[in-house]
Amino acid sequence: MTKALAFVGQSAAIGLALAFLVVLIKPDLVRLEQRSSTEAPGSYAAAVAASAPAVVNIYTAGIPGQRNGFAGMTTSPLAGEGLGSGVVISQDGYLVTNWHVIENADEIYVQLADGRTVEPVFVGADPETELALLKIDLPDLPSIVLGRSDTLQIGDIVLAIGNSFGLSQTVTQGIVSAIGRGLGVATFESFIQTDAAINVGNSGGALVNARGELVGINTFFVGPALQGQVIPAGVGFAIPVNLVRGVMAELIEHGRVIRGWLGVNASYLPILQAQSLGLSGPGLQLLNVSGPAAAAGLRRGDIVTHVDGERMLSPQQMMNLVASARPGQTIRIRAIRRGTGLFETEAVLEERPSVAKLTG
């Protein structure tokens, strides 16, 4: 019995010594365990407490738009009134929301989480990303911490905060279901998809991570239709904060977003035609050519393969690359013309016209 106890004591001593050595030699193992334990807490109350005060309710009066599925465009029971959400992004009162929340509104009211209500000043909007910027003048404003959307991974926990159904602030929880979604509802888009419930009134509200940092602006949901209305079904979409950050900076500085414009519309070249021209991947066939593109000698039917040395694989990629450049900047284009072959040209970009001019 004495030998048995001695063996146990000896084993315990050796175990403690080894544990001590592990801490000395590999302290990062302990920190890793601590980090992983904080990534999935039993409660997200701290994240909500850090972010929810900066999420506001938005009420509009006038003729709000009616685009089914947008999580802020169904009117409230009071005829002529609309509802949505917004997020205070700076302590000096700048507030981001969705463009469709305030579009066509004659009056806009912002209600903070602490009950204070104020009429905001309209700063600017960017319909091509579905974003708008307002400003409110109140003391002691809470503001949200801007996170990063480029580090999001599928499966990450996210919380949606907004004015669901006009019931004031509501928080729902889910995961990131997909990233980089292009759905054709905005010109420039790379939506975060989530199964966190996004309902009517959530438009313009916050999508935050488990630390309470803003990673997206809730925008719309999809689901089955019932009596002409889309019913939420756990498929919601948010504009990534990295896109929001750039648009807001432009609106604050210029009152609009300044983008480069080439003056082309393009579509995918059928794969067999692309192969017949010696292309190993997609080609982009120009459908309409005007402005800087026409001045550079491009024609309808030309097949663009590269812009500034980057292989073009989709019309959206080319539009995004051109839009990210500044007016006056020169870009180099490589293209193929049937009967002539490969050629290169340079185009001096102009400022992208407003949506009204592009569609009108």
Each residue of 233-266: pLDDT tens digit? Answer: 568 999 999 999 999 999 999 999 999 999 999 9
Average pLDDT, the chain: 83
pTM: 0.78
Q: Please tell me whether residue 61 adopts helix, strand or coil conformation.
A: strand
Query: Fold match between 42-257 and 260-359?
Result: no
pLDDT at 233: 59
For residues 280-309, average pLDDT: 95
- 43-61 pLDDT, tens per residue? 999 999 999 999 999 999 8
Q: Report residue 135 as tokens.
A: 């400003």
Instruction: Average the pLDDT over 214-224 and give the result.
Output: 85
Domain ranges of the chain: 42-257, 260-359
Distance (Å, whole) CA 230 – CA 222: 7
Which comes out higher in pLDDT, residue 16 or 131? Answer: 131
Return d(Cα 117, Cα 109) in angstroms, integer. Answer: 7
Whether the Cβ atoms of residue 67 and residue 183 lie closer than 8 Å to each other:
no
Could you read off the pLDDT of 115-124 as tens digits, one per residue? 999 999 999 9
At 205, list the tokens.
């509200």
CATH number for 260-359 (one of 3.10.20.600, 3.40.50.150, 3.20.20.150, 2.30.42.10): it is 2.30.42.10
Fold adopted by 42-257: Thrombin, subunit H (2.40.10)
More confident residue, 297 or 186: 297
What CA–CA distances, in Å, run from 210 to 81, 213, 253, 317?
A: 33, 8, 31, 31
